[in-house]
């Protein structure tokens, strides 16, 4: 099978569930193991020479809450690193093997919920429940039923494909009874059967996570620029007719486009920042605010830059996904303008001044603007 068609399998489970033994049986590589308590302290990738699979070994879920957090953080950090190159099919997570020890005779929905937290970004990823140490054939039906019930009680919907009992290595019951390895072929074949689905979900999830990271980074820039705009805007000149915010708006727009990899032209930047739309909105807001002066100017300046930045983010995402063409300048400028007008911060700014006109005489523009942002967060109108 070609290199790009190898599947990346995230192997999860509580400590001592047999993850390392399973990985060794498939990859042929010795994996550091402990007795009872798992001993994997970092994530390693083991590639099988027999099967087109890469097993990603993780630290087991401990019973200590702090250790559980460390494990989830470890997995999230690793998967975040896996989305650096969206065009590389060899990265990302294609499926999950969740190991449950068969000899324990019970499993817990809590542990499955820990798995959900660890793979939160990989929506609908195929999951295979692997009942390890399935030495007793008599117990297998009861174990499968217990696992089914545990998954059914999970707080989240899980794309559970199969529940597969496995004995990863030969096990001696006594001197006369030896349980041979079994279930490995079934596990690998069942996993590979969903390769196309898994790869498509992998790509979709990676694209979503890449966008989420770009959005997070861009939003941070918007907040930083907004803070500067509040200070710059609080000047004793006719704010709506001034161009004091243009350099800030220009820099912010260019930086957001660069984060999304948008090939923009100077004409596009000028069309967005140099349009009369922002000035007209500023005039409209100031007409409705019951006070005037530096405080109002500063807050309005912050609101405009915030609305512009968030609107440029939306435009960038539309360009990134191919829904908007940056070479069609008029269309793009119109898109940004409409999003600026729709941004809730405009209404929130006006509403704040109307409701608090008797309480803002001694407040600074930055303090007022932060209160406006907080009110928006409380109503979930912007990202936290």
Distance between CA atoms of residues 295 and 371, nearest Å = 14
Residue pair 84/214 in contact (Cβ under 8 Å)? The answer is no
Q: Is the pLDDT of residue 261 over 90?
A: yes
The fourth-level CATH superfamily of domain 3-193 is P-loop containing nucleotide triphosphate hydrolases (3.40.50.300)
Distance between CA atoms of residues 179 and 114, nearest Å = 31
Nearest in space to 146 (alpha carbons), one of 200, 116, 109? 109
Q: Is the pLDDT of residue 14 over 80?
A: yes
Per-domain residue ranges of the chain: 3-193, 213-378
Nearest in space to 99 (alpha carbons), one of 32, 36, 161, 17? 17
- Residue 9 has phi, psi (to 5 degrees) of -110, 120
Q: Which residue has the higher pLDDT, 149 or 381?
A: 149
Q: Is the pLDDT of residue 39 over 80?
A: no
Q: Is the pLDDT of residue 189 over 60?
A: yes
Distance between CA atoms of residues 55 and 57, nearest Å = 6
Q: Look at the alpha carbons of 364, 366, 367, 371 in this order and tell me if their dihedral is positive or negative.
A: positive
Query: What would the DSSP string read from start to end of 108-132?
Result: -HHHHHHHHHHTTTSTT--EEEEEE
Residue pair 99/22 in contact (Cβ under 8 Å)? The answer is yes
Residue 264: other Cβ atoms inside 10 A: 20
Residue 315: other Cβ atoms inside 10 A: 25
DSSP-derived letter for residue 348 is H
Q: Look at the alpha carbons of 300, 302, 307, 308 in this order and tell me if their dihedral is positive or negative.
A: positive
Nearest in space to 52 (alpha carbons), one of 204, 160, 198? 198
At which residue do the structure tokens 């007719």 appear?
241
Average confidence score pLDDT of the chain? 83
* Residue 40 banded pLDDT, cuts 50, 70, 90: very low
- Residue 276 has phi, psi (to 5 degrees) of -80, -5
Spatial neighbors of 26 by CB under 8 A, at least 6 apart, are 46, 48, 50, 51, 53, 55, 184, 188
- 362 burial class (0-12, 13-18, 19+ CB within 10 angstroms)? exposed
Q: Which residue has the higher pLDDT, 136 or 82?
A: 136
Residue pair 226/310 in contact (Cβ under 8 Å)? The answer is no
pTM for the whole structure: 0.71
The pLDDT tens digits for 305-334 are 999 999 999 999 999 989 999 999 999 999
Q: Is the pLDDT of residue 303 over 50?
A: yes
- Can you give the pLDDT at residue 257? 97
**Tally of CA atoms within 13 A in the half-sphere of 252 that contains its CB:** 30
Q: Is the pLDDT of residue 288 over 80?
A: no
* Parallel, antiparallel or unpaired: strands 178-179 and 127-132: unpaired
Q: Which residue has the higher pLDDT, 140 or 107?
A: 140
């Amino acid at each position: 099978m070609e290199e790009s068609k190898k599947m990346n399998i995230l192997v999860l489970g509580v400590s001592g569930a047999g993850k390392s033994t399973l990985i060794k049986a498939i990859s042929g590589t010795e994996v550091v193991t402990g007795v009872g308590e798992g001993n994997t302290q970092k994530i390693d990738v083991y590639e099988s020479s027999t099967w087109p699979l890469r097993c990603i070994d993780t630290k087991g879920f401990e019973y200590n809450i702090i250790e559980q957090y460390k494990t989830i953080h470890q997995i999230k950090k690793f998967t975040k690193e896996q989305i650096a190159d969206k065009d590389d099919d060899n990265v990302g997570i294609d499926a999950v093997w969740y190991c449950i020890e068969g000899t324990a005779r019970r499993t817990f929905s809590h542990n499955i919920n820990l798995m959900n937290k660890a793979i939160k970004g990989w929506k609908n990823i195929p999951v295979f429940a692997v009942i390890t140490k399935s030495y007793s054939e008599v117990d297998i039906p009861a174990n499968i039923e217990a696992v089914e019930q545990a998954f059914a009680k999970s707080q989240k919907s899980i794309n559970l494909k199969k529940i597969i009992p496995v004995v990863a290595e030969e096990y001696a019951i006594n001197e006369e009874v030896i349980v041979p390895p079994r279930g490995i072929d079934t596990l690998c074949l069942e996993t590979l059967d969903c390769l196309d689905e898994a790869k498509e979900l992998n790509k979709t999830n990676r694209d979503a996570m890449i966008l989420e990271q770009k959005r997070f980074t861009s939003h941070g820039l918007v907040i930083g620029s907004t803070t500067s705009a509040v200070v710059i805007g609080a000047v004793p000149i006719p704010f709506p007719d001034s161009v004091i915010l243009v350099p800030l708006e220009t820099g912010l727009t260019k930086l957001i486009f660069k984060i999304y990899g948008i090939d923009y032209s100077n004409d596009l930047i000028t069309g967005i920042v140099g349009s009369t739309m922002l000035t007209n909105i500023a005039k409209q807001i100031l007409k409705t605010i019951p006070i005037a002066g530096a405080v109002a100017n500063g807050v309005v300046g912050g609101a405009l830059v915030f609305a512009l930045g968030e609107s440029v983010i939306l435009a960038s995402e539309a360009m990134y996904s191919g829904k908007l063409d940056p070479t069609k300048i008029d269309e793009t400028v119109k898109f940004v303008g409409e999003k600026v007008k729709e941004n809730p911060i405009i209404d929130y700014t006006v509403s704040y001044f109307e409701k608090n006109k008797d309480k803002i005489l001694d407040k600074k523009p930055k303090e007022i603007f932060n209160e406006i942002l907080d009110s928006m967060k409380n109503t979930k109108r912007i990202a936290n």
